[in-house]
Amino acid sequence: MKLALVGIGKIALDQHVPAIAGSDVWSLAATVSRHGSVDGVENYADFDRFLAERGDIGTVSLCLPPVPRFRFAARALAAGRHVMLEKPPGATLAECHALIGLAESRGLSLYATWHSREAPRVATAKAWLADRVLRRLTVTWKEDVRRWHPNQDWIWQPGGMGVFDPGINALSILTEILPVEVHLTRATLSVPANRQTPIAADLFFHHPGGAEIEAVFDWRQDGDQIWTIEAVTEDGTMTLLDGGARMLLDGAEDAATPDLGPLGGEYPQLYAKMAALIARGDIDMDLRPMVHVSDALALGRRVAVAPFYD
């Protein structure tokens, strides 16, 4: 199946291009980008020209930041293309619902991808938690923004989400592995005095069984980067490490995990799922991770912290 990648930046080059190259199903038939390109693939600087000229390409995969994404997705759906969305699926929930309506009315597939859910141990963690009584769950997502988002101004602008850009990955795992729904009750957002979006956030959730649920996100982490979810249950503790790449049960490694490198294996699975969605004529737009971010931005108490300079 022919596919076009839109927005040739960091994630398109790091993950999407290799995942498509390694796929038996997909072929990268065009790119759309003002500054980027992929060797040997025709690039269009103008999206409308691409849509008009390349009726042979049935699917577009949008790797843009969240704010510009809606107008690209809406035009692609209006032009009869299936659409795959990088996370987060949009800048607001309302625009995501508008996209669902557009896709439904045209019988097209639309996929809000959550790459972290494809990490090797996430499904095992979900199965382990399914029939256990949870007492406490703590998400700790601490990384160095200078290392992962060098000079990306959009993350600091309205709609860029700040530390929720990686934090939403943790929330995508949380909403996947918990057998019940939680909702946010309070949050503290630390916002640099010269920026629009938080550099750190503490989130607290209501759990229907009374478990304590907290998420701590921080972009000011030196040294080791931490992407951990620890779940304490009535019969043992499960710890997801390295963003779901490894899992401990009561401190012991659950099983050898294949070393696929950073984000290894996640994007090939997203592309396989997109092909399956199209084959079934289906839509997959799970917006729960984004609901928690929106709630934190709505309810969160803002604290001004030191200005941030790249």
The residue among 122 and 213 lying less far from ligand NAP, judged by its C-beta, is: 122
159 binds ligand NAP (CB under 6 A): no
Tokens 């009869």 sit on residue: 80
68 binds ligand NAP (CB under 6 A): yes
63 binds ligand NAP (CB under 6 A): yes
Q: Identify residue 262 by its one-letter amino acid code.
A: P
36 binds ligand NAP (CB under 6 A): yes
**Minimum distance from CB of 74 to ligand NAP (Å)?**
14
66 binds ligand NAP (CB under 6 A): yes
Q: How far apart are CA 111 and CA 184, in angstroms?
A: 25
For residue 20, what are the CA distances in angstroms to 23, 25, 29, 165, 276?
Answer: 5, 8, 10, 24, 15
The strand ranges marked E within the chain are 2-6, 27-32, 43-44, 59-62, 82-85, 110-112, 134-142, 183-192, 200-206, 212-218, 226-233, 236-241, 246-249, 252-253, 283-284, 301-305
Q: How far apart are CA 203 and CA 122, in angstroms?
A: 21
Choices 59-67, 180-188, 211-219, 240-248 (CB under 6 A): range interacting with ligand NAP:
59-67
Handedness of CA 80, 81, 84, 90 (dihedral sign): negative
Segment 14 to 33, residues that bind ligand NAP, using CB under 6 A? 33
The residue among 7 and 244 lying less far from ligand NAP, judged by its C-beta, is: 7
Residues recognised as catalytic: 87
Residue nearest to ligand NAP (CB): 9
x/- mask, ligand NAP, residues 103-122, rule CB under 6 A, reads: ------------x-------
CB-side neighbour CA atoms (13 Å) of 131: 0
Backbone phi, psi, residue 172, to 5°: -70, -35
Contact pick of 54, 60, 86, 173 for ligand NAP (by CB under 6 A) = 86
Helices 288-299 and 93-106, interaxial angle, to 10°?
150
Contact pick of 54, 81, 87, 207 for ligand NAP (by CB under 6 A) = 87
Choices 9-17, 181-189, 247-255, 272-280 (CB under 6 A): range interacting with ligand NAP:
9-17
DSSP state of 40: T
**Minimum distance from CB of 123 to ligand NAP (Å)?**
20
Residues binding ligand NAP (CB under 6 A): 7-12, 33-36, 63-66, 68, 86-87, 115, 148, 152, 154, 165
